[in-house]
Amino acid sequence: PVPRMELAHGYKDKKDRLSDVNGGLFTYPILMAADILLYDAEIVPVGKDQKQHIEMTRDVAGTFNHLHGDVLVLPKEQIDENTMTVPGIDGEKMSKSRNNFINIFLPEKELKKQVMAIVTDSKGLEDVKNPDECKIFAIYKLLADEASVQTMRINYTSGGYGYGHAKLALFDLILSKFEHERSRYNHLMNNFDEIDAALKIGAEKARLVAKDVLKRVREKVGY
């Protein structure tokens, strides 16, 4: 079956707000399908909300293969159950379009401001808190080791530990965990030639696979 584009989650979520809807939003799943099928991808790491795109991609490939033989690879999704949904600083799902994400590559002052903006309830410093209902804790446990997670859980349930403490702990964790990546990012932002060289190598590798896929498709459709 050919996928019905009006059933795509991204379109359905915004169709009642016409100012947010355009042709790009409506046809995006097909663009994603082309990006996947062009490179014979077998396994595609995605978040839970992207699973539908893989299903649509399989529908496109399956329909083409039904008509023309075994030409396109049918991909499967790979979802990490621990990180399939990451909360944003406003409590909703983290998203660049909602501007509710934490940019780990920001300078320290700006990064700290983002972390400190995570929405919490109104419980005070001495109040006992439920870590499983807290967005700070939800993000922290995605990054921290098990011992650190358990320590913070005890802090939450013992009282005398405020959300400000938890936010600072998360901020410090981000700085330490991504110290190498932040350093590398800053280096690359001052050396664009290294980025261009890496992109060129990747493009050549991708082009070899894509040319073979396009050749198979064109032969089948007589183009």
Task: Please state the three-class secondary structure of the chain as a single string.
Answer: CCCCHHHCHHHHHHCCCHHHCCHHHHHHHHHHHHHHHCCCCCEEECCHHHHHHHHHHHHHHHHHHHHHCCCCCCCEEECCCCCCCCECCCCCECCCCCCCCCCCCCCHHHHHHHHHCCCCCCCCCCCCCCHHHCHHHHHHHHHCCHHHHHHHHHHHHHCCCCHHHHHHHHHHHHHHHCHHHHHHHHHHHCCHHHHHHHHHHHHHHHHHHHHHHHHHHHHHHCC
For residue 9, the model assigns a pLDDT of 61
Give CA angle at 135 (131, 137), nearest 5°: 45
Residue ranges in the chain whose pLDDT is less than 70: 1-22, 24-25, 82-84
For residue 19, the model assigns a pLDDT of 61
Whether the full predicted model's pTM is greater than 0.85, yes or no, is no
At 16, which amino acid appears? D
| 192: Cβ contacts below 8 Å, ≥ 6 apart | none
For residue 143, the model assigns a pLDDT of 94
For residue 3, the model assigns a pLDDT of 62
For residue 52, the model assigns a pLDDT of 85
Cα–Cα nearest to 102, from 171, 23, 156: 171
Beta-bridge partners for 43: 76
For residue 98, the model assigns a pLDDT of 81
